[in-house]
Amino acid sequence: MMFGRKVMQPRLVAWQGDPGKSYRYSGVTWDPDPWGTAVAEIRDRLTTKLGIRFNSVLLNLYRDGHDCMGWHRDDEPELGPEPCIASVSLGAVRKFRFRKMGDPRQKAEVELGSGSLLVMAGRTQELWQHALPRMLRVKESRINLTFRVIR
Ligand SMILES: O=C(O)CCC(=O)C(=O)O
């Protein structure tokens, strides 16, 4: 929902997780689909690597470089303070940008390649916005899995 209107997101989205772990963002509530086998395997590898048992995941499909995600923070109340979000990327390499809240001249950019893991933790969501910009020359698709702990 933007300015009270329903707007199509320029990406395809699904939500998987433990029963009852619903997620509400941009005015939409997502009830979880059951864990897919491959997704649960990645979740378990993250538990081994990071020592965190994620109970849900947002799955994003960017069909090509036209699909994107605008500036935002993952700061919904159900994520609690200082959430740890583990972001796994597969497929096309895409840029991922950060800008500081209150001082957008402070920014950072990383390239997320296939198989990469980006961990956002501590005060990242409080202090920084992030975005995945359009990259029109990218013709391939990209899947991004952002594992979360819903409280
Ligand atoms: O696609 C990505 O790398 C990030 C997606 C994202 O920011 C989100 O779903 O909150």
In a domain? residue 110: yes
Q: Residue 87: which of 66, 69, 65, 105 has the closest Cα?
A: 69
Range of the domain at 52: 12-148
In a domain? residue 115: yes
pLDDT of 1 higher than 80: no
Q: Is 56 close to ligand 1, i.e. is its CB under 6 Å away?
A: no
User: Could you report the per-residue pLDDT of 60-105, keeping only the tens digit for each?
Assistant: 999 999 999 999 999 999 999 999 999 999 999 999 999 999 999 9
Please tell me the distance between residue 69's alpha carbon and the centre of ligand 1 in angstroms: 7
In a domain? residue 91: yes
In a domain? residue 40: yes
In a domain? residue 1: no
pLDDT of 143 higher than 70: yes
Residue with the bigger pLDDT between 6 and 123: it is: 123
Residue nearest to atom 3 of ligand 1 (CA): 144
The pTM (predicted TM-score) of the whole model is: 0.93
CATH for 79: 2.60.120.590
Query: Which among 57, 69, 147 is the best mutation to test ligand 1's pocket, defined by most ligand atoms within 8 Å of the CB?
Result: 69
Atom number in ligand 1 closest to CA 74:
10
- Residue 115: both structure tokens together: 């198989």
pLDDT of residue 10: 82
In a domain? residue 96: yes
Mean pLDDT of 24-28: 82
Q: Residue 117: which of 64, 53, 38, 42 has the closest Cα?
A: 42
Say how many domains are in the chain.
1
Name the E strands within 2-137.
Answer: 12-17, 23-25, 28-30, 56-62, 69-72, 85-91, 94-100, 103-112, 117-120, 128-132
